Amino acid sequence: MGMGVDIRNKLARRAAEEIQHGMVVNLGIGIPSLVPNHLPKEIQVIFHAENGITGMGPSPNKGEEDENLCNAGGFPVTLKIGGSYCDSGIAFGMIRRGKVDMTILGSLQVSKCGDLANWIVPGKKVPGMGGAMELAQKAKKVVVLMNHCDKQGNPKIVNECTLPLTSSTCVNIIITELAVFQVSSSGLFLTEVFEPYDLKTIKERTGCSFIIHEQIRKITY
């Protein structure tokens, strides 16, 4: 069950609402890399990549890529005026010192208490953990963008993760093509629903119980 471009952009647009002026934000690969396209002009943000860039700009146009300038996923990026490079150790130092305000990343599973499993499906070849473990623990806010179910139709929001954890109790917000959940110490709160979906569909496709917020927002974009 792949995701169309428009749905991917819907998720990225909703995640962009979490970003405030002046934040330092780390973006994962995949859908999170679309988030900058949805930021209002007046919101100035410093995008951080754990391979050593602070102040990433938009993706370059085809033919204008700089082979020496890529993000942590190896994709070409640009640098904004005032942006800087450092080695990976310093980039990780920024994360570990709590200098990153928000990380927006994908996941394979999230548990109802906010455990994150996003780095490996056992038996499959993977590029490695990357910065996810540090970011999940140390970013002030952790936003997950993902499909509600996997390719087999199994829920990715579950009671307990069955895949190896990246980090426990770290996720603050889950955004899927169906809904937005806030993770709190008292459980999972359903706060927003994407049109045209309803509560019945969300309950059927979610692998754990959740609390329905008194005032649910309908997202119509």
Q: Write down all domains in the chain, each with its CATH number in brackets.
A: 5-219 (3.40.1080.10)
Q: Give the pLDDT score at 2.
A: 54
Helices (H), the chain: 5-16, 88-96, 132-138, 199-205
CA distances from 163 to 38, 56, 140 (A): 32, 32, 24
Each residue's pLDDT tens digit in the chain (221 positions)?
Answer: 456 669 999 999 999 999 999 999 999 888 998 898 899 989 999 999 999 999 998 889 999 999 999 988 888 999 999 999 999 999 999 999 999 999 999 999 999 999 999 988 888 877 677 789 999 999 999 999 999 999 999 999 999 999 999 999 999 999 999 999 999 998 999 999 999 999 999 999 999 999 999 999 999 99
- Cα separation of 140 and 22, whole Å? 14
Tokens coding 165:
């954890």
- Amino acid letter, 169: T
Are 161 and 112 contacting, i.e. CB atoms less than 8 angstroms apart? no
CA distance 164 to 8: 25
Q: Which of 50, 134, 177, 192 is catalytic?
A: 50
Token pair, residue 128, equals 């490695």
Residues in a beta bridge with 35: none
Which three-class secondary structure state does DSSP give residue 7?
A: helix
* Residue 50 is a catalytic residue: yes
Which residues are bridge partners to 104 per DSSP?
Answer: 27, 143
Check: CB of residue 53 under 8 Å from CB of residue 77. yes
